[in-house]
C-alpha cells in the first residue's frame, strides 16, 4: 500500500512539472516610478522589483506549479493578443502599464498593454496568482 501511495505521489509530482516544462510566463509592469518583472519558468519564479535589481529566484512548490499550469490551461492562448483591457488608467499615468506573455512549445502569446492590477478577465486568476509571489515592501 505504501508503495502505491509513493508511486502516485511521485507520478503526480513529475506530471505537474511536465505541465510547465515547455511553458514560460512573463509579467511586466512599469511606469516612471514603478517596475515589476515576474518570470515563471519550469519549477522556479523570478521577481524583480527595481530596474537595477537582480531578480530574486525561488523554487516553486509542486502545488504552486500545478495551480499555475491549471490556470494557464484555462486561458485561450490563441485569443490572448486580442484581449481588451477593462480600464485605461495607464493612458494618464493612473496605473503602471502591464503585459503578460505566455510562451508554450515555442509559440508566444502576448497580451496588449493593460493597467497593472486590472488585467483582462481571462488573465485575472493567473496574474493574481503571480502577484502572491511578490514580496510586500514598506515605503
Q: Rounded to the nearest 5°, which phi and psi values hold at 71?
A: -65, -35
| Alpha helices in 20-133, H assignment, sequence order | 62-73, 121-131
Could you read off the pLDDT of 30-68 as tens digits, one per residue?
A: 999 999 999 999 999 999 999 999 999 999 999 999 999
So where are the chain's domains? 2-131
Stated pTM of the model: 0.84
For the chain, which ranges sit under pLDDT 50? 5-17
> What is residue 94's three-state secondary structure?
coil
Amino acid at each position: 500500500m505504501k508503495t502505491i501511495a509513493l508511486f502516485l505521489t511521485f507520478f503526480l509530482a513529475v506530471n505537474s512539472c511536465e505541465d510547465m516544462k515547455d511553458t514560460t510566463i512573463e509579467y511586466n509592469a512599469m511606469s516612471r516610478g514603478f517596475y515589476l518583472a515576474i518570470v515563471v519558468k519550469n519549477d522556479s519564479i523570478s521577481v524583480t522589483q527595481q530596474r537595477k535589481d537582480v531578480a530574486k529566484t525561488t523554487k516553486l512548490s509542486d502545488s504552486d506549479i500545478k495551480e499555475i499550469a491549471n490556470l494557464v490551461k484555462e486561458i485561450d492562448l490563441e485569443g490572448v493578443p486580442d484581449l481588451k483591457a477593462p480600464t485605461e488608467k495607464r493612458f494618464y499615468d493612473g496605473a503602471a502599464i502591464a503585459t503578460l506573455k505566455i510562451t508554450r512549445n515555442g509559440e508566444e502569446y502576448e497580451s496588449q498593454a493593460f493597467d497593472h492590477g486590472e488585467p483582462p478577465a481571462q488573465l485575472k486568476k493567473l496574474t493574481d496568482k503571480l502577484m502572491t509571489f511578490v514580496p510586500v515592501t514598506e515605503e
